[in-house]
């Protein structure tokens, strides 16, 4: 595979590389004094965040945090494989989480997920003879779920609506990712993440973020159900008071 070497090769992007680099120059001017301070110091992140690669989801905006708060890991569909199948890149990130003593982990799945929809569209990905879509579609299978079966069931239940079926699959995939995560090595004296959680030394949350509504559901691991986050501002405009009636004409 050859690397693109001149500007024309980037022409299929909405944003050319030159204007992207300009964004960096001008974006630097938007960094607040508070953010600049946080960037200068030693990082002591509060949360290890696992969310999808999707470019529409901006975790720092959605969760409203600045620099120094979150270690971000962004695999397709926020997939966490069982520990026996983990790749070195993820194991190293988990080691970094332990070194930095990060005591919160948040997994965020999202609506309209391309990774989940690829799995719906290609229920039996072929990594040998298939193309790029097969490679993307295969990611959700790394959770260990029977995605081939689930994809077909969800598509049938949604009357062929790939988007709706994908949302169901994205949720199931994230729940399995959470279950897989529990088996990974814990920090300090804890053998596993599950032990770390039980001791109260670690808090773990699984969320589903709706890209259209900006609403969030949280998965209750004990009950095994998704629940809307209580007290969450949906961003919907407040109902308007009816306009005042025009004053009667002067007599």
For binding to Zn ion (CB under 5 A), which residues are involved? 52, 54, 113, 115
Sheet holding 47-51, edge to edge: 70-73, 47-51, 104-110, 203-209, 216-220, 225-228
Cβ proximity of 158 and 168 under 8 Å: yes
Q: Choose between 151 and 187: whose C-beta lies nearer to Zn ion.
A: 151
Question: Whole-angstrom Cα distance, residue 75 to residue 62?
Answer: 18
Q: Choose between 80 and 102: whose C-beta lies nearer to Zn ion.
A: 80
Buried b (16+ CB within 10 A) or exposed e, 228-238: eeeeeeeeeee
What's the closest the beta carbon of residue 177 comes to Zn ion, in angstroms? 12
What's the closest the beta carbon of residue 161 comes to Zn ion, in angstroms? 17
Handedness of CA 193, 194, 196, 202 (dihedral sign): positive
Q: Choose between 184 and 208: whose C-beta lies nearer to Zn ion.
A: 208
What's the closest the beta carbon of residue 109 comes to Zn ion, in angstroms? 8
Q: Choose between 119 and 180: whose C-beta lies nearer to Zn ion.
A: 119
What's the closest the beta carbon of residue 56 comes to Zn ion, in angstroms? 9
């Amino acid at each position: 595979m050859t690397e693109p070497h001149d500007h024309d090769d980037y022409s299929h992007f909405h944003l050319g590389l030159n204007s992207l680099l300009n964004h960096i120059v001008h974006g630097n001017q938007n960094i607040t004094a508070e953010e600049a301070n946080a960037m200068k110091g030693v990082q002591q992140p509060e949360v290890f965040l696992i969310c999808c690669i999707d470019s529409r989801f901006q975790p720092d905006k959605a969760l409203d945090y600045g620099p120094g708060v979150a270690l971000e890991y962004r695999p397709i569909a926020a997939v966490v494989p069982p520990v026996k199948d983990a790749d070195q890149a993820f194991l190293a990130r988990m080691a970094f989480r332990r070194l930095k003593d990060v005591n919160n982990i948040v997994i965020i799945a999202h609506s309209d997920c391309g990774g989940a929809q690829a799995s719906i569209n290609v229920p039996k990905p072929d990594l040998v003879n298939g193309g790029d879509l097969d490679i993307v579609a295969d990611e959700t299978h790394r959770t260990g779920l029977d995605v081939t079966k689930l994809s077909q069931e969800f598509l049938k239940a949604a009357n062929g609506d790939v988007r709706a079926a994908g949302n169901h699959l994205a949720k199931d995939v994230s729940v399995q990712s959470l279950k897989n995560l529990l088996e990974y090595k814990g920090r300090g004296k804890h053998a596993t993440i599950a032990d770390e959680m039980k001791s109260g030394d670690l808090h773990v949350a699984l969320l589903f973020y709706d890209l259209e509504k900006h609403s969030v559901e949280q998965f209750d691991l004990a009950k095994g159900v998704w629940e809307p986050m209580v007290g969450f501002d949906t961003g919907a405009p407040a109902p308007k008071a009816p306009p005042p009636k025009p004053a009667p004409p002067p007599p």
